[in-house]
């Protein structure tokens, strides 16, 4: 079956080249004769002028065919191809009128570029459809309900068709929600990454207190009875040595200022556009920006941004986000 399909494609392409070759030959001969006989143009110039419109149309046609295998629109090159074909056809028609070949001669010459364009257009539509089918972008055909069934069972036939179309719309709706959820996730990651970096850098900043300990000056003790002067001088010498010793520095780590008071309400990030996010996405974004905030604090932080919610909804969203289970039929939205 595959070999027969390839053989059929080769036959179709061969017929296409023959038809386009014949039509382009007639069209280019008409313009070449017009340039050499009427305008006395040099043969070299007439040679390039004869194929100017047709070669440009062929270029735009090939470019349009390239778009058939891509999701982008090939409307612009196809419009350019039609403009070149229309201009070439008008020039050929004018040539027949100048030579006084009558209506028949004008139709023959003017139809040449049109035939070439129509031949390629039919082939282009076939190739475009096959390319979409290979990419899975061509939906399967709807069920064929005979006309007699519509006459005998109109209600049942309508229900079958309605149910079939509804099922397809449900699949398309889920795919659209999944695509929107994926785009929303990328948007959240892009706008929250700088804020998370700033929060992490602030949390890692070392705040320390430097304490300098200086030994007190020696205090002369009053001599006690029964002790010699050398004995009284010994403590004084030790104290003098301690007073000459360099000061000792003790570094004591201190907690960050943001964690000093847990009772203070967390501040929402100012660089996030919450209006562009869904409610569930806004809750997840606020949780990422304020990881230590409670559910009620997250709900209160979203209120100034026009998002009304409560602690129960916040806990539900965070619970589903932590479990990682997809939400059926919602595309990730609540």
In the predicted structure, residue 114 carries a pLDDT above the cut 80: yes
Higher pLDDT, 277 or 30: 30
Assigned CATH topology for domain 2-134: de novo design (two linked rop proteins) (1.20.1440)
pLDDT band at 269 (very low <50, low <70, confident <90, very high): low
CA distances (Å), origin 329, targets 257, 268, 287: 45, 31, 24
Q: Which residues contact 87 (CB under 8 A, 6 or more apart)?
A: 53
pLDDT band at 221 (very low <50, low <70, confident <90, very high): very low
Q: Which residue, chain included where needed, has tokens 């449900």? A: 170
Higher pLDDT, 178 or 162: 162
Greatest mean pLDDT among 50-64, 146-160, 166-180, 286-300: 146-160
Higher pLDDT, 240 or 52: 52
| pLDDT confidence of residue 290 | 86
pLDDT digits (tens, 9 = 90+) for 145-155: 999 999 999 99
**What does the mean pLDDT of the chain come to?**
74
Distance CA 39, CA 218 (A): 121
Greatest mean pLDDT among 82-86, 118-122, 256-260: 82-86
Question: Among positive and negative, which fits the CA dihedral 245, 247, 253, 254?
Answer: positive
Higher pLDDT, 246 or 260: 246
CA distances (Å), origin 267, targets 63, 119, 149, 289: 55, 67, 66, 9
The encoded tokens of residue 1 equal 């079956």
DSSP code for 135 = T
Q: In 235-257, which positions are buried (b, 16+ CB within 10 angstroms) versus exposed (e)?
A: eeeebeeeeeeeeeeeeeeeeee
pLDDT band at 229 (very low <50, low <70, confident <90, very high): very low
pLDDT band at 113 (very low <50, low <70, confident <90, very high): very high
Mean pLDDT on 205-225: 44
Query: In the chain, what are the domain boundaries?
Result: 2-134, 180-204+268-323, 207-255
Backbone angles phi, psi at 248, to 5 degrees: -100, 135
- Per cent of the chain over pLDDT 70 is 66
Distance CA 319, CA 334 (A): 12
Q: Are 187 and 172 in contact, with CB atoms under 8 Å apart?
A: no
Q: Residue 292: name the closest of 256, 259, 257, 255 by CA.
A: 259
| Residue count (the chain) | 334
Q: Are 53 and 31 in contact, with CB atoms under 8 Å apart?
A: yes
Distance CA 127, CA 125 (A): 6
Higher pLDDT, 9 or 164: 164
pLDDT band at 30 (very low <50, low <70, confident <90, very high): very high
Is this model's pTM higher than 0.75 or not? no
Q: Residue 281: name the closest of 237, 222, 327, 232 by CA.
A: 327
pLDDT digits (tens, 9 = 90+) for 280-328: 888 888 888 888 889 899 888 888 888 888 888 888 888 877 765 444 4
Q: Apex CA 106: angle with CA 103 and CA 112, to 5°?
A: 140
| pLDDT confidence of residue 81 | 87
Higher pLDDT, 193 or 261: 193
pLDDT digits (tens, 9 = 90+) for 206-215: 444 444 444 4
| pLDDT confidence of residue 259 | 41
């Amino acid at each position: 079956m595959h070999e027969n399909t390839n053989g059929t494609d080769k036959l179709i392409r061969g017929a296409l080249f023959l038809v386009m070759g014949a039509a382009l030959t007639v069209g280019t001969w008409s313009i070449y004769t017009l340039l050499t006989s009427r305008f006395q143009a040099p043969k070299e110039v007439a040679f390039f002028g004869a194929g100017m419109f047709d070669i440009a149309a062929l270029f735009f046609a090939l470019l349009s065919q390239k778009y058939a295998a891509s999701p982008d629109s090939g409307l612009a090159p196809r419009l350019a191809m039609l403009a070149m074909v229309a201009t070439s056809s008008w020039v050929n028609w004018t040539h027949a009128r100048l030579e006084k070949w009558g209506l028949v001669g004008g139709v023959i010459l003017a139809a040449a570029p049109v035939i070439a364009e129509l031949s390629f257009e039919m082939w282009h539509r076939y190739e475009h459809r096959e390319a979409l089918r290979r990419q899975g972008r061509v939906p399967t055909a709807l069920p064929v309900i005979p006309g007699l069934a519509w006459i005998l069972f109109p209600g049942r036939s309508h229900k079958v068709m309605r149910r079939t179309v509804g099922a397809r719309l449900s699949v398309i709706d889920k795919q659209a929600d999944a695509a929107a959820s994926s785009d929303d996730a990328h948007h959240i990651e892009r706008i929250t990454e700088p804020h998370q970096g700033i929060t992490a850098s602030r949390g890692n900043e070392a705040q320390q207190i430097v304490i300098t300990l200086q030994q007190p000056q020696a205090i002369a003790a009053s001599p006690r009875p029964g002790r010699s002067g050398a004995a009284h001088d010994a403590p004084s010498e030790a104290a003098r040595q301690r007073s000459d010793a360099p000061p000792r520095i003790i570094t004591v780590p201190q907690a960050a200022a943001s964690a000093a008071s847990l009772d203070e309400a967390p501040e929402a990030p100012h660089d996030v556009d919450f209006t562009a996010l869904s409610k569930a996405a806004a809750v997840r974004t606020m949780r990422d920006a304020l990881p230590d905030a409670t559910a009620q604090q997250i709900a209160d932080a979203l209120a100034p941004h026009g998002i009304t919610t409560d602690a129960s909804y916040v806990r539900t969203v965070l619970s589903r986000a932590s479990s990682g289970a997809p939400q059926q039929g919602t595309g990730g939205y609540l």
